[in-house]
Copies of this chain bind each other. A is one copy, B any other.
Amino acid sequence: MDKQASSTGPKSRARGLERAIAIVDYLQSGKEAKRPIDIALGMQAPKSSVYELVGILISVGVLERVDNEGRVYLGRKLHYWGLSYLENFDLTRLAQPLLEDITARTRETSQLCMLDGDKYTVVLMNEGNRQFRISSDMGEKLPIPWTASGRLLLGHYTDDEIIDFIPDDDFIMPDGTRLDKHEYIASVRSAHQDSFFSFDSLADNYTHCFAAPVHDESGICISTLCLIAPKQDAETHYRLYRDVLTESSIQLTSSLQAGSC
């Protein structure tokens, strides 16, 4: 009785590639292995399509079977692709040793952050003592105004462009209050002026976040170096932390420019 009749007009088929990418994203966001049927139901995608696509993705190693109940999750090929990405990406390749250096000199967690669309993300992180620790925060998207880096990454935009760029809801802070846009823009301007910004973390109430800009050839802030420190440490070593970070960001900026020739 249904068919495509009625007003729903075009019965569109999803493109295999896009659906496949959605499957990988869906598995990643769930952070656990799922069976094809669960994927299909969870994504509201046709079962037969999901079965076929999952089969293909498994055959090339993008997905992997993880148990005998048919559950699948991201595959090893993605690990290798991810490594290749890092290896080739100037910014991360150059930033990694700097992060290590920053952490060595401050004993605090350091990060390389960037925009991803209209959101903020952590691209690289180096935690205190633990080497090679993989934090679940990496790659997660946060509203730009929630972050110290978010004062630097939009510094080259006009007021209007900034307002346009950031989704309105992103001015709602983690605690539910709404950040005044003019107040936010004022902080962007002063951060841009200082090539530096720091404030108490919004994510918790015992850390302080430092951020310094990394510029591309044209002077646009393409990423930031950040330091996350307990408030107490941040206060005691404020000058040191700020200097270390600023110095590193300048160094990264210039090695980027050198490398691009």
The answer to whether A177 has its CB under 8 Å from any CB of chain B is no
| A28 proximity list for chain B (CB < 8 A) | 80-81, 84
| Residue in B53, B88, B136 whose CB lies within 8 Å of A31 | B88
> By the criterion of a CB under 8 Å from any partner CB, how many residues of chain A are at the interface?
46
Cβ–Cβ contact A87 & B136, under 8 A: yes
| Residue in B20, B62, B100, B139 whose CB lies within 8 Å of A79 | B139
The answer to whether A181 has its CB under 8 Å from any CB of chain B is no
Cβ–Cβ contact A74 & B80, under 8 A: no
Q: Is the interface of A mostly helix, strand, loop or mixed?
A: helix
Closest to A93 in B: B134
Given contacts A81-B28, A82-B80, is CB(A100)–CB(B21) below 8 Å? no
Q: Which residues of A contact B (CB under 8 A)?
A: 15-18, 20-21, 24, 28, 31-33, 53, 56-57, 60-62, 66, 73-76, 78-89, 92, 96, 100, 116, 123, 126, 131-132, 134, 136, 138-139
Nearest 4 interchain pairs by C-beta? A82-B82, A80-B139, A131-B131, A74-B85
